[in-house]
Structure 1
Amino acid sequence: MSGLKLSHIVSGAIAVLLAYTSSAAIVFQAIDTLGATQAEANSWMLVLGLGMGLSTLVLTLRYKMPILTAWSTPGAALLVISLQGVPMGEAIGAFVFCGLLLTLTGLSGWFEKISRFIPDAIGSAMLAGILFRFGLGIFASMEDSLPLVAVMCVTYLLGRRFFARFAIPSVLLAGIVFCALMGAFATGESFDLSLAQPVFTMPVFSLSALIGIALPLYIVTMSSQNMPGVVTLKAAGYQPPVSSAITVTGLATLLLAPFGGYAFNLAAITAAICAGPEADDNPATRWKAAMVTGVIYCIVGLMGAAVISLFLIAPKALVVTVAGLALLNTVAGSLSAALKEVDQREAALVTFMTTVSGISFMSIGAPVWALLFGGLTSLVLTRKKAANA
């Protein structure tokens, strides 16, 4: 804990704020689709928070890297569609089986071997494409919340000019003060601040749920979450322990699935916040920002759904703008690294544009298709240049 900086605390808090405000509503939809009771819903939010927090702390403290984990957001979106009419026990059984598949993937090491073949330029281009929409979100938010966004952007520019280390904390503070003065926070909500309690559901294994829920959940988690998570850390200059990290998230899923922890994976966007220069100028100590994130995740999880409501009262423009500004340097660095190698520029551009497009085929998201298309472009053009030489 020695040497903990304000930038670590702010980056960790922004990562948690972004994680919950961007996808908590999807998780609530999945819970509602199952017809869960209030106690079961609180249990889901409890173990999802604790699962992310504890697995992040284990990996971060063990490897001294900003290795963040997250619940599977595309997995939650998949569950909203596939859980209709499925009994709770069968759904839990599918989550347990998905956890088993994730654990076996980590233990086998095959996923880590595949990730080593990704060229640095293509990986950086994919990361830039993933984060690009957050930068665009700043300008899109101007349509509905121009005064708020303007205040935050001016604060950012002044901060970068006169007090660069505190630019993002100043932006967050300015946004909160502006919203408080303008009455922009939705303060009419009532909160139950009691600690959430875990509710155990006995898993029931049915072939239809294993094929229709567990396998798609595993595939979408690996392709749309774990792959971008690995690339994010590599683009930031780290060599993540891929197999160990997936094993930890798989075990977390396996243990917490009976209580509502449907799937955990490596984080990408929130990891980029803690692994970027805004968290710390020194890459060797950015893990402390991830450590702060893990602690806050645990606290939020213990408070259950009550604290989630606190996150949701913030105006969307506040969250989008602070996240976009916090990621600007990371986007710029990724684009610079992607286009630096002349021989890889076409492949990097194909990767970047495919990622930004947001296409999805066969339940596989744009980042994986971007790696595939970019990799094929690189392979073809590299062989052509070698033949001409």
Structure 2
Amino acid sequence: MTQEHSPVVAGVVAAVVGFSSSFVVVLAGLVAVGATPAQAASGLLALCVAQALGMAWLAVRHRTPLSLAWSTPGAALLVSTGAVAGGWSAAVGAFLATAVLITLTGLVPALGDLVARIPASLARAMLAGVLLPICLEPVLGVAAAPLLVGPVVLAWLVGQRVAPRWAVPASLVVALVVVLVSTAGEVGLADAVPTLAWTTPSWSVPALVGIALPLYVVTMASQNVPGVAVMASNGYPVPWRETMGVTGLATALVAPFGGHAVNLAAITAAMMAGPDAGPDRTARWRAALSASVTYLVLAACAAGLTALVTAAPDGVVQSAAGLALLGTLATSLADALADPRERVPAVTCLVVAASGVTVLGIGAAFWALVVGLVVRAVLSPPAPGTSPTATSAPARSAGRHRSP
């Protein structure tokens, strides 16, 4: 492989790894809040196209390897939230509300400052609580159907030992093979035709409070802020205002077609902005461009993959999704419990989020933040200006590079 081709190859690899590592989580999240398989496939297709086009625009305009992705933690949040009052159309309305909040974050500094006041320990604990039930699926799957789920877990374990980056994609490939073998003849070519399904949004208070607000917080704290930090660590400024505008607009455009959130990438950003994309830093923007083209190709696979996931025996795809999120769970737990003074509020937040309770029609993620903040205030009232925040340093860094 020649050096001049390395950014292109890095972009293709990043897109394949990013897609294969988390698309099952996206499908599971959309179905959990009321989407039909066709609507979920539409959402996956729309997300691929929107982030591809947004990434191409930012890469070409700024000659920077800015990479976009769907919100995997946000999809996990949807899994834990489940159906809300108003059904699927209300969930779509919540996605639109999230788009508005993301856009306003780039335009109104005060909104970003408000998000920055959420303690990092609680933001990470909420995410860990959301992820925990999903990450239990491989254990439950092996116990219930060892012959079906066992090979998926084994592929993941071998991949972790041999090539960690490809461990999750390898487990997913094995899961799809298991599905193909166990459902031979059930998935036809007609099921693989990519289509978009429009849903007219509606709005309900439970959906706005239980989906839109937690989805916005999780997307900002677990995707956009780390994405800025990754780019900064590789020497690339992020045009904050424009990036929030592009991702907010992309989220608004995909919402009626079933997409939940588009945001800055973090893990794949490191692959495209770091040394893997070649020694010439001025050429690494081509990695983002090749990734965008790859996502357009992968978009054509959305319907077929959704059909396979829908036909899968219970536990197989859920186990693959749980394995895909283990790394995020580990990072979230480490961050949430790092400060001994924050551990009790963080654990309280975590268990409420993991409980899956619904109160007043509003899901557990919202109540987890509320309870965590209350417990934190009671146990250790913070001194003015000393509260640890989820986004303070990266947000300030982004703010310095806002586009005009």
| TM score, norm. by length of structure 2 | 0.65
Distance 1:158 1:103, change over 3 A: closer
Deviations 1:256-306 (CA, angstroms, capped at 9, x unpaired) = 67xx436643579xx7xx6399x9699887999998886566446557756
- Say which SS state the counterpart of residue 189 (structure 1) adopts: coil
Cα gap change, 1:325/1:80 in structure 2, threshold over 3 Å: closer, same or farther? same
Give the AA of the match of 1:344.
E
Pairs aligned (count): 354
Secondary structure of residue in 2 paired with 1:68: strand
Q: Is the 8 A contact 1:124 1:337 kept in 2?
A: yes
Query: What amino acid sits opposite 2:185 in the alignment?
Result: T
User: Match of 1:376?
Assistant: 374
Contact 1:16 1:297 in 2 (8 A): no
CA separation of 1:80 and 1:67: change in aligned 2, threshold 3 A = same
Q: In the alignment, residue 251 of structure 1 is paired with which amino acid?
A: L
Tell me the CA shift for residue 349 of structure 1: 0.8
- Report the Cα offset of residue 48 of structure 1: 5.5
Moved more, 1-10 or 318-327: 1-10
Q: Which one of 215, 218, 223 corresponds to residue 225 of structure 1?
A: 215
Kept in 2: contact 1:103–1:250 (CA 8 A): yes
Structure 1 counterpart of 2:357: 359
- The answer to whether the 8 Å contact 1:10/1:169 transfers is yes
Which of 20, 23, 27 is the matching residue for 2:27?
20
The answer (yes or no) to whether the contact 2:213–2:366 under 8 Å persists in 1 is yes
The letter for the 1-side match of 2:365 is: P
Partner of 2:392: none
Work out the percentage of aligned pairs sharing the same amino acid.
25
Q: Give the CA deviation at 1:339.
A: 1.5
Shift of 1:232: 1.7
Give the drift of 1:42: 9.2
Counterpart amino acid of 1:213? W
Task: State the superposition RMSD in angstroms.
Answer: 5.0
- Corresponding residue of 2:398: none
- Which whole-Å CA distance do the structure 1 matches of 2:93 and 2:382 have between them? 50
Change in CA separation of 1:101 and 1:230 when aligned onto 2, cut-off 3 Å? closer
Q: List per-residue Cα deviations over 1:46-100 (Å, max 9, x = no partner).
A: 646533554466678877566423598759944853869xxxxxx9999989866
For structure 2, list consecutive stretches of 5 or more residues without a partner in the other structure: 1-6, 231-237, 278-284, 385-404
Whole-angstrom CA distance in 1 between matches of 2:288 and 2:314: 23
Distance 2:162 2:305 in 1: 35
Map 1:147-296; keep pairs closer than 5 Å.
147-180=147-180, 183-185=181-183, 187-192=185-190, 196=195, 213=203, 218-233=208-223, 238-239=228-229, 247-252=245-250, 254-255=252-253, 260-261=256-257, 264-266=260-262, 275=267
The alpha-carbon deviation at position 353 of structure 1 amounts to: 1.0
**Contact residue 135 and residue 325 of structure 2 kept, 8 A:** yes
Instruction: Tell me the distance in 2 between the aligned counterparts of 1:376 and 1:93.
Output: 29
The 5-angstrom pairing of residues 46-125 of structure 1 reads 47=46, 50-51=49-50, 53-55=52-54, 64=65, 67-69=68-70, 77-78=83-84, 81=87, 103-104=103-104, 106-125=106-125
Contact 2:122 2:349 in 1 (8 A): yes
Structure 2 match to 1:206: none
SS at match of 1:113: helix
How far apart are the structure 1 equivalents of 2:303 and 2:16? 23
